[in-house]
Amino acid sequence: MFCPECKKSDTRVLDSRDDTRVIRRRRECLRCHYRFTTYERVESPRLKVIKRNGESEDYSRDKLSKGIFLAMEKRPVSQAQIEAILDSIEHEITRLKTKFISSKQMGNFAISKLKEVDEVAYLRFLSVYKSFGSASKFQKEAEKLTKDKPI
């Protein structure tokens, strides 16, 4: 990191603040003692999503976010929690070290995360992403979920 004043690279970090998507660092130049701030943004993974019809599109955090947001509608979940879900889905995707992911696989990541956070949102998302052929399949999933729960 170069000092914007004297252009030397001897700077030190005074303070870091991590705000989920942006990390803010307060820096000081060791030569001229000029103080400045830098921002680091967490970049979403660059990959293609292969849709069911075989078409591919660029992965979009916004799009995934909208799907999750819809599933979470009127649920007691904060925006920060939704961001955390997105972060952890992206983390899973990054771990695959792939440039392509099927929409089904991405849906499965979302489903497993939602299941941990909110059961109603989980079922809503499931109904969209697994495209249930009939209402009875949806009912079965709902029953399975109820059985898992200790009474």
Nearer to Zn ion, 31 or 61 (CB): 31
| Amino acid identity, position 117 | V
Least spacing, CB of residue 29 vs Zn ion, in Å: 3
Nearer to Zn ion, 13 or 128 (CB): 13
Least spacing, CB of residue 4 vs Zn ion, in Å: 8
Whether the CA torsion 65, 69, 75, 77 is positive or negative: it is positive
Nearer to Zn ion, 34 or 69 (CB): 34
Least spacing, CB of residue 1 vs Zn ion, in Å: 11
User: Strand runs (DSSP E) across 6-78, as ranges?
Assistant: 11-19, 22-29, 35-41, 48-50, 56-58
Residues of this chain that interact with Zn ion (CB under 5 A) are 3, 5-6, 29, 31-32, 34
Q: Which residues pair with 16 in a beta bridge?
A: 25
Distance CA 58, CA 6 (A): 41
Nearer to Zn ion, 6 or 42 (CB): 6
Query: Which two structure tokens, joined as six digits, stand for 121?
Result: 């949102």
Least spacing, CB of residue 12 vs Zn ion, in Å: 11
Residue 112 is inside which H or E element, if any?
helix 103-117
